[in-house]
Amino acid sequence: MESKKKFQRAVADTFELPKEILLDLPRVNLVGNIQLYIENHRGVVEYTDETVRISISGGELVIQGKNLQIKNIFSGEIFIEGTIHRLDYEN
């Protein structure tokens, strides 16, 4: 399994392919500390106005801040607005 991941990464590096597609990683777009746009997520694990936990491949993305609200949500895409203080990756 580990060797497969390594191979994929090597392929992506060699051919300069976008890693989020090949490696199934989320693409996170952060505009200052007010907007967050995540592609390729796997659902909301926890949601309050101070913490949003989003499931991604290989772990969770924890967003902490104030007045967090989910502006839009589709399968695979999420758009969060509010005041973002921290962004943590947890395995």
Residues that bind other proteins (CB under 8 A): 43-49, 67-75
Q: Which is nearer to other proteins, 9 or 71 (CB)?
A: 71
Q: Which is nearer to other proteins, 14 or 48 (CB)?
A: 48
Give min distance, CB of 61 to other proteins, in A. Answer: 14
Residue 32 burial by Cβ neighbours in a 10 Å radius (0-12, 13-18, 19+): exposed
Cα–Cα distances in Å, from 75 out to 1, 6, 26, 52, 72?
Answer: 27, 28, 13, 16, 10
Give min distance, CB of 67 to other proteins, in A. Answer: 8
